[in-house]
Amino acid sequence: MNLKTLSFGDYAVFFIYFVIVASYGFWVYKRKHNADATSKDYFLAEGSLTWWAIGASLIASNISAEQFIGTSGSAFKMGLAISTYEWMAAITLIIVAVFFIPVYLKNKIFTMPQFLNERYNGTVAMVMAIFWLMLYIVVNLMSILYLGALAISGISGIDISWCIILLAIFSVFITLGGMKVIGYTDVIQVAVLILGGLMASYLALTLLSEKEGTHGLLNGFKILHAEAGDHFHMIFKKDNPNYMDLPGLSVLIGGMWITNLNYWGCNQYITQRALGANLKTARGGILFAAFLKLLMPVIVVLPGIAAYLLYQKGMFHQEMLSHKGVLDPNKAYPSLLNLLPTGLKGLSFAALTAAIVASLAGKANSIATIFTLDIYKKAINTEANDKKLVNVGKWAVLAAMFLGVILSFLIGETLMGEGKQGFQYIQEYTGFVSPGIFAMFILGFFWKKATSNAAMFATIGGFVFSCFFKVLPRFANLGFLSPYGFSKLALQDDKVTKLYEIPFLDRMGFVFIICILGMFFISKIDAARGVVPKGLEIDSSMFKTSKGFLAGALIVTAIVVALYSVFW
C-alpha cells in the first residue's frame, strides 16, 4: 500500500473543510463588504473584529508550515527545547498588549512604516517598507509555500510543484476578500488546525503505548519521556550538539526576547490584526492568543518528539530518509500523518492546509497593506482614492504570491530541502534585520530623544553587523585573525572551531546592543547640532490594564514558569 495516498474518505473530509471555509468566507464578504469601504477598512477590518476573532487570527497566521513542518522537524532533532519559541511568545504577547498596542492605537498607527514616518521621517519609513516587503516575500512567503507544499506532497503523493500552485491559488481567494474575511475565516482555520494537530499527537502516543503492549495516552507519554529523555530538556548546555540553535540561557535572557518582541510587536503581519480594534478588544484578543500559544507545543512539538522515538523503533524508516540518504527532519510530521486511519488522515490534512492557507493569506495581506499604503500612496500616486488603493492592494496580493511561487521553485529546495531545518532557516535569516528594527522601535516608543539619523543607523547598521558576525568565524578559520591567535586554535581541532561559531540568537543580542548604543550616541550628537526629533503621544495611563486582563496575564506567566521548572 502506498502511504502517500489519501483515500476517498480523506478527500471527503478535506472537501467538507474547503466548502465550509469558502462558504463562510463568501458569506462574511457579502454581509460585511461595502462597495464604498475605505482602504483601512479593507486592509485592517477597522472596528469589525471581536477579541476572539483577533486572537484566533493571530494564532492562525502564526501557526503555519514552519510550525507544523519546521517546528516538528526541529523537535525531531532537538526535542522539547524548540517549544521556547511558543512559550516565551505567550509572555511576549502580554508585554505587547500592555506596552506596544496602546502606543499604536493612541497615535492612530495602522502600519509599521507609518509609525516610522511619524516618529522619525519618510526616508526611514520608505527604507524599512522595502526591507519588510523583501523579507516577507523572500523569507516568509516562499518558506511557507515550500514547506507547506513539501508536507502536502508527502501526505497526498501530489507533485510538490502542483502543491505550491494550489496552495497559492487557495490563499489568494481568501486574501482578496480583505482583512474581515481573513480574520473571521481564521476562527474556523484555528479550530481545524488545533483539532487536527491533537489527532496527530493522539496517534503518536497511542502507537507508542501499543508498541510496548499497553494502552492510553498517559502511558504513551510516560514511554516517550522515559525512552526519549534527552529530548525533554528546555535549556541546553554547551556540549549539546543543538546548542548553536538554542544557546542555553539565551532563550530566557538573551536573543529570544529580541526575536519574539520584534515578531509580535513590530511586525505588520501580526500587529495588523489588532490595529483596527479598540484597546480593550485588542488586549482581549492578544491575551486569548497567549493562552493558545501555551497549547501549541502539544500540537507541533510533541508529534516531532514522538516521531523521533517511533523512527528509532523502526515504525517508518523509509519515509524518514531522503532519496539522497540524508535524514530529513522536515519529513517527521508528514510521515506521522501517513499512519493515521482514513478520515482522521483527511482531518489532519485539512488542519495542515488550514494552517498554511491562513498564514499565506495573512502574509499576503500585510504585503499588500505596506505596498499600498506606505509605498504606492506615499511615493507613486499620492492622489489615489480609496477604491484605487483597494484595487492596487489586490494586484499586490497577486504579484506577491506569484513571486513567492517562483522563489519556491527556484531556491526552496536549496534552502530548506534534504535534511535542513526549515524553521531554523526562517528564524536565522529574519534575525539579520530584527535587532535593528527592534532597537529603533523600542527607543522610538520610550526615548523621545532618538533621532532619524540614529534610526537609519539601526536599519542599515543592524543588517551590516549581523552579516559581519555571521562570517567572522570563517575569517578566523582562514587565518585572517591569526595575530590574535584565533586561527591557530581553530585549525588545531574541529571541536575548538565550534567555540568561535556564534549562535544566531547570541548574534542578535550583540547586534541589538550595538544598535542601541549607536542610536544613543548618534542622537546625542544630533542634539548637540540642534536636531529636534519627532515624538509620539504617550502617557502612563495608557499602560494601565483591567483586573481581568491582569489576572489572565498572571495565569499565563505562572504556567510558563511551571513548564520551565518541570522541563529545565
Name which of 47-51, 88-92, 392-396 the model is least confident about: 47-51
Name which of 15-24, 136-145, 210-219, 318-327 the model is least confident about: 318-327
Task: Return phi, psi of residue 327, to 5°.
Answer: -65, 125
* Grid coordinates belonging to 513: 546592543
Q: How far apart are CA 399 and CA 380, in angstroms?
A: 17
Q: Is the pLDDT of residue 90 over 90?
A: yes
For 512-540, what is the mean pLDDT? 87
pLDDT at position 552: 92
Question: Is residue 41 very low, low, confident or very high in pLDDT (cuts 50, 70, 90)?
Answer: low
pLDDT at position 332: 75
- pTM for the whole thing? 0.78
Other CB atoms within a 10 A radius of the CB of residue 327 amount to: 14
Q: Is the pLDDT of residue 98 over 50?
A: yes
Question: Is residue 521 very low, low, confident or very high in pLDDT (cuts 50, 70, 90)?
Answer: very high
CA atoms lying within 13 Å on the CB side of residue 192 = 29
121 Cβ contact partners less than 8 Å away, ≥ 6 residues apart: 452, 534
Name which of 233-237, 413-417, 437-441 the model is least confident about: 413-417
Closest CA to 372 of 348, 361, 388, 356: 388
For 92-109, what is the mean pLDDT? 88
Alpha helices in 447-545 (DSSP H): 452-456, 462-478, 486-492, 494-497, 504-528
* Grid coordinates belonging to 306: 514522538
CA atoms lying within 13 Å on the CB side of residue 176 = 14
Q: Is 229 exposed, middle or buried (0-12, 13-18, 19+ CB in 10 A)?
A: exposed
pLDDT at position 95: 93
At which residue does the C-alpha cell 512567503 appear? Answer: 141
Over residues 423-445, the pLDDT tens digits come to 666 677 777 888 888 998 899 88
For 225-245, what is the mean pLDDT? 83
| Cβ contact 207:304 at 8 Å | no
For 177-181, what is the mean pLDDT? 62
513 Cβ contact partners less than 8 Å away, ≥ 6 residues apart: none
Q: Which residues pair with 321 in a beta bridge?
A: 327
Over residues 535-559, the pLDDT tens digits come to 777 777 888 888 889 999 999 999 9
Closest CA to 109 of 46, 61, 54: 46
Q: How far apart are CA 186 and CA 71, in angstroms?
A: 21
CA distances from 405 to 368, 392, 400, 402 (A): 16, 20, 9, 5
Question: Which pairs count as long-range contacts for 313-317, CB under 8 Å and 24+ apart, including other chains?
Answer: 313/211, 315/207, 315/211, 315/339
Phi/psi region, residue 184 (left: phi>0; alpha: psi -120 to 50; beta: rest), is alpha
DSSP annotation of 341 reads P
| Cβ contact 450:440 at 8 Å | yes
Q: How far apart are CA 372 and CA 380, in angstroms?
A: 10
Q: Is the pLDDT of residue 488 over 50?
A: no
* Percent above pLDDT 90 for the chain: 10
pLDDT higher for 195 or 422? 195
* The CATH number of domain 8-30+39-81+111-222+265-423, selected from 1.20.1730.10, 1.10.3720.10, 1.10.3210.10, 1.20.140.10: 1.20.1730.10
Over residues 327-363, the pLDDT tens digits come to 667 677 777 777 777 777 777 777 777 777 777 877 8
Question: Is residue 486 very low, low, confident or very high in pLDDT (cuts 50, 70, 90)?
Answer: very low
Other CB atoms within a 10 A radius of the CB of residue 97 amount to: 26
DSSP annotation of 502 reads P
For 401-417, what is the mean pLDDT? 77
Q: How far apart are CA 349 and CA 158, in angstroms?
A: 13
Ordered DSSP codes for 399-451: HHHHHHHHHHHHHHHHHH-TT--HHHHHHHHHTTTHHHHHHHHHHHHH-TT--
Report the mean per-residue pLDDT for the chain. 78
DSSP annotation of 95 reads H
Question: Is residue 496 very low, low, confident or very high in pLDDT (cuts 50, 70, 90)?
Answer: very low
Q: How far apart are CA 331 and CA 152, in angstroms?
A: 10
Q: How far apart are CA 189 and CA 377, in angstroms?
A: 32
Angle at 21 between CA 408 and CA 396, to 5 degrees: 45
pLDDT at position 492: 44
Over residues 191-204, the pLDDT tens digits come to 777 777 787 788 88
Which of the listed ranges 11-25, 328-342, 446-460, 494-508 does the model predict with the highest average pLDDT?
Answer: 446-460
pLDDT at position 213: 72
Q: How far apart are CA 391 and CA 369, in angstroms?
A: 11
Q: Is the pLDDT of residue 320 over 60?
A: no
At which residue does the C-alpha cell 487536527 appear? Answer: 196
3-state secondary structure at position 321 = strand
For 81-98, what is the mean pLDDT? 91
Every domain of the chain with CATH number 1.20.1730.10 lies at 8-30+39-81+111-222+265-423
273 Cβ contact partners less than 8 Å away, ≥ 6 residues apart: 49, 54, 57, 58, 61, 183, 285, 362
Q: Is the pLDDT of residue 71 over 50?
A: yes
